[in-house]
């Protein structure tokens, strides 16, 4: 029987996946699509994000010829760069350091199933066209940054699936770059699963700067084993409708998790960050800090959830979201949540939203600093604790460059 | 230096300054005293360009420029400095970064070149010594976690760095112990020259033992009602302000 709801229709616009490792999960995903429609704003996780525009959007599906010569989109000039251009994966041509393996996802024997049970996870499972599998062997420290550059080149619409695994005692830095080269409406959904083995250190810089016409959806699902350190910085600098779902399961004791975010929005941008840190074992700590600067009629959503399960005694979990509105028309929806089932833990969460301090602005101006200069000083100060967390200098420079282009602010630390 | 004529100003529709006249020449120190609510801090705020206040009549000529036409930052760039009664804490903005930005914006306004990092740092060392401000405070966030005395010394340090033509010290003595008061006053005296001028706004005579004024004015009910020398301050200290009120209303 043909299902005629919007979600099924949307699903039918995309070809079935040919990634072998995803096929066993197909039945569940198909069942999910059959039983559900696009979530309305009555559904908690989509309360502030209307998907009607996406459901009705028209994407010119024809693919542009990928120009292999024009790979200038990476942020780090010296990175090991893998390009995913309109869903087509281009592996690096240079030789890789020992212990690092990069391949098409289609050659992977198995890919972990996503535990995120929503529409986009199901669509991704059914329609992922391509993706990358990156493996860092045990005891290997990969010095160069590994950069995964997602480019929406034309009015591309499609799903990508990546899997990163970092072995025991290994260390790696990843930059996930999202750019678009076209001003027509595009849509991309990227699901990236990340396995962090015992004693591994993994750093991820996620830099989103797709055009103001693009729908940019991405999930990261992270599994952390004992004594590991995982840090992700989600830096959203552009995009029409951006949604990030970050799901971290802390499965091994004595692990550290750091998740930071920065979003700088203007125009009618809508950016939603949904995060989950699930502490399932004892003696771990997590720190979460998301900050936003909102101009014009932009809208942001922050929903951070921290679970501390019954066995997760001695957990230290901190979560904070702070926003500055520099326009009267911008709006913020912030919902930090803690769910604690253990009794010997230290947890806190908080959320603030406000304008720049008028007294501070006046003080700076009374010393001869222009209103714009004073605003820049105060905003830089506001962002500084997140900016300090960025571990790749080229990423920090890129952030300043994009802020300068979009807001005409000349920031420096 | 500055000529204030018939200045009327109000906040939220309530008139606070009601026809204030004051002339200050280069090389002079003027003290403005008065009871609470007389309009002392309003005068400082209006001169600095605080937007909450509306000037309803009068004029302020600042070295040939119509001060009231200028934005807050341009008043500072023209050489006006307000030492705040309550200096603002600005977390995350370092004192030196803030001052270098201020100094360079002022220099740009005056058509001068930016100061080099080296010259700037030696200037910081030299000027912070004037108010015995620990150079570590210079690199900390603006006023954050400073004691009351450190905040006021930081104001005078900024004044030393920006070298204004006219400094308005708004209740700089409030909340200071005698050592801090001496240091602050010593800083102001060191910076004094025949090319600049100072207006000291204060409730108490105490500060004027250390910063000796050429003129003392009494501000009452939005106007200057009496002008004298430093002896007037001593008389006020002895008799209180009621004596002034009585003599005005009589």
A3 has pLDDT over 50: no
A2 has pLDDT over 60: no
Residues of A in contact with B84 (CB under 8 A): 363, 366
ipTM here? 0.96
B52 part of contact set with chain A, CB < 8 Å: no
B158 part of contact set with chain A, CB < 8 Å: yes
A32 has pLDDT over 60: yes
Higher pLDDT, A202 or A60: A202
> In terms of C-beta density within 10 A (0-12 exposed, 13-18 middle, 19 or more buried), how is residue A349 classed?
middle
Q: Which of A68-77, B88-97, B149-158, B173-182 has the lowest mean pLDDT?
A: A68-77
Give the H/E segment covering residue B233.
helix B230-239
Higher pLDDT, B43 or B237: B43
Residues of B in contact with A360 (CB under 8 A): 88, 90
Q: Could you read off the pLDDT of A143-195 as tens digits, one per residue? A: 999 999 999 887 788 999 999 999 999 999 999 999 988 667 889 999 999 99
Q: Are residues A327 and A297 in contact, defined by beta-carbon separation less than 8 angstroms?
A: yes
| Distance in Å, alpha carbon of A411 to nearest chain B alpha carbon | 12
B97 has pLDDT over 60: yes
Backbone angles phi, psi at B29, to 5 degrees: -120, 120
Question: Minimal CA–CA distance to A411: which of B158, B65, B93?
Answer: B93
Name the DSSP class of A242.
Answer: E
Q: Are residues A370 and A338 in contact, defined by beta-carbon separation less than 8 angstroms?
A: no
Could you tell me the two tokens for B233? Answer: 């301050």
Q: Are residues B107 and B133 in contact, defined by beta-carbon separation less than 8 angstroms?
A: no
Residues 19-38 on B with a CB inside 8 Å of A are none
| pLDDT recorded at residue A1 | 40
**Phi-psi domain of A106 (left: phi exceeds 0; alpha: psi -120 through 50; beta: other):** alpha
| Distance in Å, alpha carbon of A38 to nearest chain B alpha carbon | 43
B147 part of contact set with chain A, CB < 8 Å: no
Q: Could you read off the pLDDT of A232-282 as tens digits, one per residue? A: 999 999 988 999 999 999 999 999 999 999 999 999 999 999 999 999 999
Q: Using pLDDT thresholds of 50, 70 and 90, give the confidence band for residue A68.
A: low
Residues of B in contact with A366 (CB under 8 A): 48-49, 72-73, 75-76, 82, 84
Give the span between the Cα atoms of B27 and B192, in whole angstroms. 7
Q: Could you tell me which residues of chain A have a Cβ less than 8 Å from any Cβ in chain B?
A: 357, 359-360, 362-371, 373, 377-378, 380-382, 384-385
Q: Using pLDDT thresholds of 50, 70 and 90, give the confidence band for residue A319.
A: very high
| CB within 8 Å: A369 and B102 | yes
Residues of B in contact with A365 (CB under 8 A): 49, 71-73, 76
């Amino acid at each position: 029987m043909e299902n005629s709801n919007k979600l099924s229709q949307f699903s039918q616009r995309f070809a079935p996946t040919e990634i072998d490792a995803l096929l066993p999960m197909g039945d569940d995903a198909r069942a999910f699509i059959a039983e559900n429609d696009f979530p309305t704003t009555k559904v908690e996780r989509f309360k502030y994000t209307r998907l009607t525009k996406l459901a009705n959007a028209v994407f010119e599906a024809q693919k542009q010829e990928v120009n292999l010569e024009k790979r200038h989109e990476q942020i780090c000039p010296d990175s090991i760069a893998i390009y995913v251009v309109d869903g087509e994966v281009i592996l690096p041509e240079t030789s890789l350091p020992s212990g690092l393996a990069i391949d098409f996802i289609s050659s992977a024997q198995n890919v972990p199933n996503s535990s995120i049970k929503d529409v986009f996870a199901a669509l991704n499972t059914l329609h992922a066209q391509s993706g990358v599998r990156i493996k860092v062997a045990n005891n290997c420290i990969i010095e160069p940054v590994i950069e995964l550059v997602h480019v929406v080149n034309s009015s591309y619409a499609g799903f990508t699936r990546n899997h990163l695994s970092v072995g025991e005692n290994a260390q790696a830095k990843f930059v996930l770059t999202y750019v678009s080269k076209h001003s027509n409406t595009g849509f991309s959904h990227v699901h990236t699963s990340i396995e962090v083995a015992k004693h591994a250190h993994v750093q991820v810089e996620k830099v989103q700067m797709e055009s103001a016409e693009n729908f940019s959806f991405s999930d990261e699902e992270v599994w952390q084993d004992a004594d590991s350190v995982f840090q992700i910085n989600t830096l959203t600098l552009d995009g029409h409708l951006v949604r990030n779902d970050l799901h971290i399961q802390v499965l091994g004791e004595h692990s550290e998790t750091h998740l930071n975010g920065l979003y700088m929005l203007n125009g009618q941008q809508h950016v939603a960050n949904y995060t989950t840190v699930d502490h399932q074992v004892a003696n771990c700590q997590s720190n979460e800090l998301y900050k936003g600067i909102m101009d014009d009629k932009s809208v942001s959503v922050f929903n951070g959830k921290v679970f501390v399960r019954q066995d997760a005694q001695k957990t230290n979990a901190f979560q904070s979201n702070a926003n500055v509105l520099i326009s009267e028309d911008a709006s913020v929806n912030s919902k930090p949540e803690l769910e604690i089932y253990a009794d010997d833990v230290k947890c806190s969460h908080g959320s603030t939203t406000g304008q720049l301090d008028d007294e501070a602005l006046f003080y700076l101006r009374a010393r001869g600093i222009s209103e714009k200069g004073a605003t820049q000083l105060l905003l830089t100060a506001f962002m500084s604790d997140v900016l300090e967390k960025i571990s790749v200098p080229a990423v920090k420079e890129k952030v300043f460059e994009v802020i300068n282009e979009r807001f005409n602010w000349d920031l420096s630390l | 230096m500055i000529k204030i004529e018939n200045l009327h100003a109000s906040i939220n529709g309530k008139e606070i300054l009601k026809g204030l006249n004051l002339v200050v020449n280069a090389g002079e120190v003027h003290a403005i005293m008065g009871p609470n609510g007389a309009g002392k801090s309003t005068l400082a705020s209006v001169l600095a360009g605080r937007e909450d206040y509306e000037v309803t009549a009068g004029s302020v000529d600042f070295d040939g420029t119509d001060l009231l036409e200028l934005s807050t930052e341009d008043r500072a760039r023209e050489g006006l400095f307000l030492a705040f009664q309550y200096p603002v804490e600005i977390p995350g903005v370092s004192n030196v970064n803030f001052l270098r930005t201020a100094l360079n914006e002022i220099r740009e306004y005056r058509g001068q070149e930016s100061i080099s990092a080296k010259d700037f740092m030696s200037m910081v060392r030299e000027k912070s010594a004037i108010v015995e401000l620990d150079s570590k405070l210079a690199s900390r966030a603006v006023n954050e976690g400073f004691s009351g005395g450190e905040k006021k010394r930081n104001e005078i340090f900024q004044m030393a760095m920006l070298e204004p033509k006219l400094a308005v010290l708004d209740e700089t003595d409030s909340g200071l112990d005698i050592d801090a008061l001496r240091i602050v006053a010593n800083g102001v005296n060191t910076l004094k020259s025949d090319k600049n001028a100072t207006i000291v706004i204060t409730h108490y005579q105490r500060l004027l033992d250390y910063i000796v004024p050429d003129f003392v004015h009494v501000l009452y009910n939005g106007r200057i009602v009496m002008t004298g020398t430093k002896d007037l301050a001593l008389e006020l200290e002895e008799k209180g302000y009621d004596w002034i009120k009585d003599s005005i209303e009589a």
